[in-house]
C-alpha cells in the first residue's frame, strides 16, 4: 500500500543532542513537507521540498535542517539550536503544489 512512513513514533532526547526524524514515501510525490504541531495551534511549516536536492525554509525553520537526496526520503534533523523542540512532528507529501496532502502518523519528540 502506498503511503508515508515516519519513524520513530516516540523519541526522547536530552538537551544539547541532535535527533533525526525519518520520513519515507512511496507515492511518487514530488512535494514533501515537515510540520510542527503544538497544542492549541495550527500546523506550522518547518521546511518543504518540491524536488530532489532542493528545499525551502518554512515559517519556523530555525534550529532545524533537512535533506532531499532521494525523491522518497525527506529526513528532518532537530538540532540543539532549537530552543523548544518538544512537539509533535508531521511529514506530508502531495503530487502537485496545493494538491491533496498525505500525512504520516507523526513523531512525538520530548526533550528531557
Partner 1 sequence: KNEVEQSPQNLTAQEGEFITINCSYSVGISALHWLQQHPGGGIVSLFMLSSGKKKHGRLIATINIQEKHSSLHITASHPRDSAVYICAVPYTGNQFYFGTGTSLTVIP
Q: Give residues in contact with partner 1 (CB under 8 A).
A: 31, 40-43, 45, 48, 50, 56, 58, 88, 90, 92, 97-106, 108
Task: Compute the least distance from the CB of residue 31 to partner 1, in Å.
Answer: 6
DSSP string computed for 4-65: EEEE-SEEEE-TT--EEEEEEE-S--SEEEEEEE-TTS--EEEEEEEETTEEEE-TT-TTEE
Q: Which is nearer to partner 1, 70 or 96 (CB)?
A: 96
Task: Compute the least distance from the CB of residue 72 to partner 1, in Å.
Answer: 19
Task: Compute the least distance from the CB of residue 18 to partner 1, in Å.
Answer: 23
Q: Which is nearer to partner 1, 28 or 81 (CB)?
A: 28
Q: Which is nearer to partner 1, 14 or 98 (CB)?
A: 98
d(CA 15, CA 112): 7
How far is CA 52 from its chain centroid?
15
Amino acid at each position: 500500500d502506498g503511503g508515508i512512513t515516519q519513524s520513530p513514533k516516540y523519541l526522547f532526547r536530552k538537551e544539547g543532542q541532535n535527533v533525526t526524524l525519518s520520513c519515507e514515501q512511496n507515492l511518487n510525490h514530488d512535494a514533501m513537507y515537515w510540520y510542527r504541531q503544538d497544542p492549541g495551534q495550527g500546523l506550522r511549516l518547518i521546511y518543504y521540498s518540491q524536488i530532489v536536492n532542493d528545499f525551502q525554509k518554512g515559517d519556523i525553520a530555525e534550529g532545524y535542517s533537512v535533506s532531499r537526496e532521494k525523491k522518497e526520503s525527506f529526513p528532518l534533523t532537530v538540532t540543539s539550536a532549537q530552543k523548544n523542540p518538544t512537539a509533535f512532528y508531521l511529514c506530508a507529501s502531495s503530487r502537485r503544489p496545493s494538491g491533496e496532502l498525505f500525512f504520516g502518523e507523526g513523531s512525538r519528540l520530548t526533550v528531557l
